[in-house]
A and B are shown apart, each in its own frame.
Chain A
Amino acid sequence: MMLESLGNPLAGMAWPLALLLAWLAGEAISRWLSLPRVCGYALAGFVLASGQLGLLPQPAGTPVALLADFAIALVLFELGQRINLNWLRHNRWLAVTSLVEAFGTFIVVLLVARGFGLAPLPALLLAALAMSSSPVAALRVANELHCSGQVTERMLHLSAFNCVFAVLVFKAIAGYWVLTSAGGLLPALWSSLAVIGVSAGIGAMFGVAVPTLLRWQRRGGGDATVIFAIATLLLVSLTHALQFSALLAALVFGLVVRYRRIVFSGADRGFGTLGSLLTILLFVFASATLSWSQVAQGAGLALAVLVVRTLCKVGACVAFAGLSGIGWRKGALTGLALTPMSVFAILLLEQTRHLGIDVFAQVAGLGLLVLALELLGPVATQRALILAGEAGREEGG
């Protein structure tokens, strides 16, 4: 608005300027408040967005969105590498925890949304989004604090699983919504499963091909991050063109690479400088898609969902803590660490734009929920990991 008067030269500089300001905000918030840097990025993105100060144009559907997809795909690739499916075989109660916290959240959020008078389909979409715990904040905070321990491990695993569930359910419901005339929920679920199957298949293909390429080139290590970043970029463009899920494909890509025994060393975690830069972009992008008008509505619903979602995740993790081999306190902290949701939810929404559903318009309160969790979620994760005594460095990042 007021900055528009400065004209075009500034418009071209909008994104670099926003990144700079976001970086400054992140450093400031980390140094003076000991809060995670990503909160600063998110705050800067929201303040600078078109609906507020107006430095940034609405980024949804622009090339910046593709970059953001790339950024989150890198995170999911790294997360996939850290997922040990064997763990579920040895610890069945962890699998139970995962199912209960994810689908329990789905059910309670659905009930609350219906109680607030939301129509069935928007309520279902909101419930599906609420299942997911954003792995971006989780992984970023865990890496920044050099965390290791049960809360960290479980947070990352549960986050990966509930994101898969969220994509599955969300795609099924969205598909049903778009194709209501074409049949019931069951066919929609089937088509969603097919999308997920093919997305996972593409990811697995990359997971086999890239390590082979790497082995052929030379023995693993060193510059492996470059080829994985390029492959992820290719994966994102490919899944976009075919309208499959880039999120799932990237996760499976990482998972399969893990079983090919190629793993990043600590120094490469988070894709180094590239990862740090793209994280700023990702958080600025995510919160810049929100506008004040969306946020100002439905405070009651947003607050209620926030509360029941947190209670459900904490409750499930506490309930099965003992059975899965940790104390109830670490269980509760695991649940708390699962609070973040926003970046993943926004990217999931962004990637289903082609379906033509404006979920923010349909679900009053989602905007505020997403903004609140984008700012509070990483803080919850950070505090949980520090309270669990799993942070290697205790400063805010």
Chain B
Amino acid sequence: MTLEAFKAGEALTMGVELELQLVDLTDFDLTAAAADMLFLLGKQPFPGDVKPEITESMIEISTDVHTDYGALLGQLGQMRNALVEAGDRLNVGVCGGGTHPFQRWSEQRIFDKPRFQELSALYGYLAKQFTVFGQHVHIGCASADEGLYLLHALNRYLPHFIALSASSPFLQGVDTLFDSARLNSVFAFPLSGRAPFLLRWEDFAQDYFGKMESTGVVKSMKDFYWDIRPKPEYGTIELRVCDTPLSVERAAALAAYLQALCRMLREQGEQGEPVSEDDYLVYNYNRFQACRFGLDATLVHPRRHETLPLRDDVLATLAQLAPHAAVLGSTGALDVLRRVVASGNHAGDLRRWYGESGGLRGMVDAAVRTFRGDES
């Protein structure tokens, strides 16, 4: 079987997937409640899509395809409300955050579905250790080649998404000092990292995917855990580096930021702005900086080879995107992110709650209330 055709469609559409945590409201540890939640949610129409994830204490929601930030935000809000209501009826807390701060991976139960059981058998403890929670954003592409162009042009902005979404400072009960510890877990997988530098879909499908497939290492695009990967059956590229933020409002803002960026990069592409493999020289370094220091990171510009504070780079990009956001109707989203740059990301909030409430449980409690929309 070769790679399926890229189902190109309308450019700059967007869709969001969020992996969410299910927590016990007594001890605020993860709880294996996915089956019960899905049963209850299945009894009435859900405003979007909801499905199980690899362990029983995760649940994944996804939106429809949107072009408008307001409509995306509206749907995410409705899905959030439906989840919170179901959680209330079952005594289960739902919350965001890229990691659960003190769960023990050895105690997680693998969801009873063939694909998950297979992954568990192959990856062993990695599968359970992969109890981390990400936000994935899909952007629709007018053609497969456009998708590959955007995928590689975006690489320079990847640290922005890591820093803005970072919400996983704690792991196994300790502060890792990373703002996003989650991505370190993703890096443990053999097929993680970045996509190979190929700009034509034919080359990608035949030269790369075809060869990889014949090695027997992969069967489908799903087996790649890249930071950004093409999703041919949707006709999208999928950004996968974001931690699930603590609120759906921030998740929507991140998606709109990506949409506006893609609009700008598309225009640059049409004007003949090239992308080059050398852009990846500093990729892993910048990625590390963003994971470790969040908005306080220092980036190296891939072309100018000079250092610049990530915070300044985000603010400059937000200013640059203003006309694009005005056209797309997402100026409000950029305002949300400007406030994040000023007042700190969710990793900072979590650390603050940890200090105020005197513990990990109080911190998760605050995260559950934040997801409900009770505060922040």
Contact = CB atoms under 8 A, between A and B. Distances in A.
B31 A81 contact: no
Interface stretch (B87-95, B149-157, B265-273): B87-95
Contacts of A325: 40, 43, 86, 89-90
Nearest to A92: B89
A258 interface: yes
B200 to A, nearest CB: 48
Contacts of A212: none
A90 B89 contact: yes
Contacts of A146: 107
Most A Cβ at <10 Å: residue of B28, B32, B104: B32
Contact of A148 (B32, B88, B89): B32
B88 A91 contact: yes
Contacts of A261: 357, 361-362, 365
A263 B26 contact: yes
A274 B112 CA distance: 36
Most B Cβ at <10 Å: residue of A220, A263, A265, A392: A263
A82 B89 contact: no
Given A325-B89, A325-B90, A219 B26 contact: no
Given A90-B89, A148-B33, A392-B109, A327 B25 contact: no
Contacts of A61: none
B29 A266 contact: yes
B31 A148 contact: yes
A84 B91 contact: yes
A339 B99 CA distance: 38
A98 to B, nearest CB: 14
A230 B364 CA distance: 29
B264 interface: no
Most A Cβ at <10 Å: residue of B28, B36, B102: B36
B36 A82 contact: no
Contact of B26 (A84, A220, A327, A330): A84
Interface string B27-65: 111011101100110010000000000000000000000
A221 B36 contact: no
A148 B90 CA distance: 12
A87 interface: yes
A221 B26 contact: no
A263 B27 contact: yes
Contacts of A219: 358-359
A157 B91 CA distance: 11
A324 B89 contact: yes
A266 B27 contact: yes
A263 B361 contact: yes
Nearest to B39: A327
Contacts of B249: none
A361 interface: no
Contacts of A157: 91
Q: How large is the interface on B (under 10, 10 to 19, 20 to 34, 35 or more residues)?
A: 20 to 34
Contacts of A153: 90-91
A91 B32 contact: no
A82 B26 contact: yes
B24 interface: yes
Interface in A87-134: 87, 90-91
A84 B26 CA distance: 8
Contacts of A324: 89
A171 B254 CA distance: 60
A82 B91 CA distance: 11
B83 to A, nearest CB: 13
Nearest to B173: A265
A223 B283 CA distance: 46
Interface in A257-307: 258, 261, 263-266
A389 interface: yes
Contacts of A350: none
Interface in A310-350: 324-327, 330
Contact of B91 (A87, A221, A330, A390): A87
Contacts of B43: 325
Contact of A149 (B26, B28, B32, B361): B32
A150 interface: yes
B27 A264 contact: yes
Given A87-B91, A90-B88, A326-B39, A220 B33 contact: no
B35 A220 contact: no
Contacts of B357: 261
A221 B89 CA distance: 29
Contacts of A149: 31-33, 35-36
A389 B365 CA distance: 27
A119 B104 CA distance: 55
A261 B357 CA distance: 9
B79 to A, nearest CB: 18
A326 B358 contact: no
A148 B358 contact: no
B32 A392 contact: yes
Interface string A367-390: 000000000000000000000011
B35 A148 contact: no
B27 A265 contact: yes
Contacts of B28: 263
Most A Cβ at <10 Å: residue of B40, B90, B362: B90
Nearest to B24: A148
A153 B88 CA distance: 13
Interface in B71-105: 86, 88-91, 102, 104
Contact of A389 (B27, B31, B35, B88): B35
A84 B362 CA distance: 16
Nearest to A153: B91
8 contacts: A81-B26, A91-B90, A219-B358, A219-B359, A261-B365, A266-B29, A326-B39, A392-B109
Interface of B: 24-29, 31-33, 35-36, 39-40, 43, 86, 88-91, 102, 104, 107, 109, 112, 357-359, 361-362, 365
Given A91-B90, A266-B29, A392-B32, 16 more contacts: A82-B26, A87-B91, A91-B88, A91-B89, A148-B24, A148-B33, A150-B36, A153-B90, A153-B91, A219-B359, A220-B358, A261-B357, A261-B361, A261-B362, A265-B27, A389-B112
For the complex of A and B, 3 pairs with smallest distance between CB atoms: A90-B88, A325-B89, A87-B91
Interface of A: 81-82, 84, 87, 90-91, 146, 148-150, 153, 157, 219-221, 258, 261, 263-266, 324-327, 330, 389-390, 392
